Structure 1
Amino acid sequence: MSLKARLAREIALTGPMTVADYVTRCLHDPADGYYATRPELGARGDFITAPLVSQMFGELIGLWMIETWRRLGAPDRFRLVEVGPGDGTLMLDLLRAAHVAPDFLQAADLVLIEPSRPLREAQARQLAESALEPRWVASVAALPADAPILLVANEVLDCLPARQFVRTEGGWAERRVGVTEDGELTFGLSALTGGLIETTAEVGVGQVLEVSEQQAAFGRDLGDLIRRSGGAALLIDYGRARPEAGDTLQALQRHRKVDPLAEPGACDLTQCADFPTVLEAAVRAGADVTGCLAQGEFLKRLGIETRTYRLKASRPEAAPVIDRQLSRLVAPDQMGELFKACAIFSPRSLDLPAFNA
Structure 2
Amino acid sequence: MGAEHARILHGSISGATVTAVADPASDRAHAVAVETGAWPFNSAEELIASPFVDAVLIASHDGAHADQVAACLELRKPVLCEKPLAPTVQECQALVEQQNAIGGTPLISVGFMRRFHPAYRELKERLAEGAVGQPLMILSSHRNVKSYPDGNSASTITNSGIHEIDITAWLLDSPIASVSWHAPKSTALDKTRQDPQLLHLRTADGVLTTVDVFLNAQYGYEVRCEVLGEQGSIELSAPQLTTANRALAATRTYAADWRPVFADAYRLQSQAWIDALTSRTRSPLATAEEGLQAVRVAEALVQSMNTGGGTVAVDNNKPSGPASPDGTSGRNLSHVH
State the TM-score, normalizing by the size of structure 1. Answer: 0.27
State the TM-score, normalizing by the size of structure 2. Answer: 0.28
